[in-house]
Structure 1
């Protein structure tokens, strides 16, 4: 993969999926899925709302890799993350497991409108501010969500299908925003 034209292999998608599965497994084992909770609380010390920061970060990462151009700070960060994560996933599948890691990149990228980019810029600022200043935000889980989203965002499959509604929602919010400020 070169940094100007992002691509992802099956290894990168696998690593992104592993991150999602491990975060869900950890949440489940700590009591989020019922059972295993503290005594006297009905068996569940966590609920699904504790996963919201992770899934918000996952969506943010999916859009980051699809929307950021190569000549931007966000583009450089996403492409370096994609390149590194894809390399780790490739090595895991090919050298660790003994399989193959073919290219699974979407044929077309999802493009944001000008208003969509404005909304994404606001979302990026909120994500950065929350990450820096929130005492309750699970920082590692959130960072893993962004990283997994970057790895999954270019896939042809499920994460690829999620990119279209995500981009459409951000573009719709951006159209509203652009209409309000003009």
Structure 2
């Protein structure tokens, strides 16, 4: 089932993604005065959820891909509104020119990562807004053509190759 995808990110969407990243890094920096392994470990959930968000936006379609596209559209619309009406700026399209799509094995990895994320979300009572923000950060930055989208550029072939090797498609 392939639902139509939006797959366009504006400067506003990238601004939202970078703002979420900046918020998390600033709070992390203030919280951990002494930088150590424990401090670095505290960033692991954010980084892993942001990478998961990038995988979602690189998905070809389906319900997860449609949810990621809807989230990307929403973050782009909010960021565009803030840039246009907040500071009077423009919001050009900053989508990567080459289209990265996951292979079937890569899609299997996305499903496995989704199951793991749901398991983490349901361990404790209550919704983890910090993890939601991290996923939205990854969705917003995954298609960016600049430095912000480098992780998506590297992540797609790595996950596709890993997934193809694990499920036996190679």
Query: Is TM more than 0.5 here?
Result: yes
- 2:119 equivalent in structure 1: 129
Q: Secondary structure in 2 aligned to 1:47?
A: helix
**Larger radius of gyration between Structure 1 and Structure 2:** 1
Partners of 1:20 and 1:148 within 8 A in 2: yes
1:50-69 → structure 2 map (5 Å cutoff): 50-69=42-61
Cα distance in 2, alignment partners of residues 56 and 139 from structure 1: 14
Runs of at least 5 residues in structure 1 that lack an aligned partner in the other structure: 36-43
TM superposition score normalised by structure 1: 0.83
Tell me: CA distance 1:33–1:170, structure 2 relative to 1, closer, same or farther (3 Å). farther
Partner of residue 163, structure 2: 174
How big is each residue's C-alpha offset from its partner over 1:60-105, in whole Å with a ceiling of 9 and x where there is no partner? 1111111141xx2112211111111111100111101111111111
1:67 is paired with a residue whose SS is coil
Q: Where in structure 2 are there 5+ consecutive unaligned residues?
A: none
How high is the TM-score relative to the length of structure 2? 0.88
Q: Which residue of 2 aligns with 1:5?
A: 6
Q: CA deviation at 1:33?
A: 4.3
Say how many residue pairs are matched: 166
Task: Find the residue that maps to 2:29 and give its secondary structure.
Answer: helix
How far is the alpha carbon of 1:172 from its aligned partner?
2.1
Write out per-residue CA displacement over residues 120-178 of structure 1, whole angstroms, 9 at most, x where no aligned residue: 2111111111112257xx92221111001111111101232211221122112212212
In structure 2, the residue matched to 1:41 is: none
**SS of equivalent residue, structure 2 residue 43:** helix
Residue in 1 that maps onto 2:148: 159
How far apart are the structure 2 equivalents of 1:120 and 1:4? 17
Q: How does 1:83-162 map to 2 (within 5 A)?
A: 83-134=73-124, 139-162=128-151
